[in-house]
Amino acid sequence: MTTTDPETLLPPATGAWREGADPGRRRFLDLSAPLPLESGGELPGVRLAYETWGELDATGSNAVLVLHALTGDAHVTGPAGPGHPTAGWWDGLIGPGRPLDTDRWFVVAPNVVGGCQGTTGPASRAPDGRPWGSRFPLVTARDTVRSEVPLADALGVGTWALVVGGSMGGMRALEWAASEPERVARLMLLASPAAASADQIGWAAPQLAAIRADPGWHGGDYHDLPVGAGPHAGLGVARRIAHLSYRSGYELATRFGRDPQPGEDPFHGGRYAVESYLDHHAAKLVHRFDAGSYVRLTELMNAHDVGRGRGGTAAALARVTARTTVVGISSDRLYPVAQQEELAAGIPGAELRLIESPYGHDGFLIETEAVGGLVTELLG
């Protein structure tokens, strides 16, 4: 291993982007008023980080909103580098000649409120100058739409030509279409539900418990601790659990089987190859993400219910006026296809498309050619 391998380096207390660091491609918008919250009260001093590609046309009709999943951010496309610890997570979709052709479309990607890559979240400084930490409130998918409406206004976007997202991003995209139907012309929901199920909340429970049980959690107030301190073990366990739900049993079996990690003997303290794979993903995450954000955004996903306060799921889905494509992944065991069938049946005129993939839930990120073809079709 090299000295830059995440498994050999002490992680910082938080992997969040912090004020004063290289902004990379980020742009920022400070909301002019506190953000009202479904959970009660309001969140003051909200700053949104976002990235854009392409140019808004004279009519303001070519804007596309891309919404990221739990551990994603606004850096949808582009290389890793200063300010960006990883390359874009949907790199094959955005750029000249790609499905979201930036010679034609103005693409906007905000980092979600509660996130940790430039938008206000638990690692950010509150108005009193201290990190928000444990004081950061629950923000719902509906709240994130309220935060992003001012961004659309500031950019001159009256109606999005397309709002697209997968997993948590799909929850946010659905809330955009239900909360602001006149501002969403087309909608693509990938591997996401109308509401989080008991099974999904159950998958999240041990992840949250692992983080909160870590002695480095300090009740959520750890952000100013030195390098090497912080809830890294708990966040790593959470990532291991989550990653198993993101992939299919078939893929893990065909990729790893019961093979030991090369050079290690599981009968004498060594690891199986699949264990090493999970260890690697855990180590990468603790260097680029914040445990407090992981907790709050997982709670956001648990709270997702488009029908809340709207007379139920059917009434909420009927509010959507966008031309809609709902996309399921055949092997998704976290957000199974039955949930996309419910969306497609409830949204007027929606079309259900299935991507055959062995990769499980992560298929919406990995099968970029198939996703790109559906994007092109919807925008055509």
CA-atom Rg of the chain in angstroms: 20
Token couple for 167: 């997993």
The C-alpha atoms of residue 155 and residue 57 are separated, in whole angstroms, by: 11
> Rounded to 10 degrees, what is the CA torsion of 326, 336, 199, 163?
-20
Of 143, 214, 332, 362, catalytic: 332
Spatial CB neighbours of 109, under 8 Å, sequence gap ≥ 6 = 50, 51, 52, 65, 66, 67, 68, 74, 75, 76
Of 167, 293, 331, 357, catalytic: 167
Closest listed residue to residue 144, CA positions, set 221, 51, 31? 31
C-alpha dist (Å) from residue 19 to 22, 28, 40, 83, 118: 9, 12, 27, 11, 8
Beta strands in 79-202 (DSSP E): 106-110, 162-166, 186-190
Concerning whether 361 is annotated as a catalytic residue, the answer is yes
The C-alpha atoms of residue 335 and residue 233 are separated, in whole angstroms, by: 26
The residue behind tokens 């004081």 is: 135
Of 84, 223, 232, 361, catalytic: 361
Concerning whether 332 is annotated as a catalytic residue, the answer is yes
Q: Write out the catalytic residue numbers.
A: 167, 332, 361
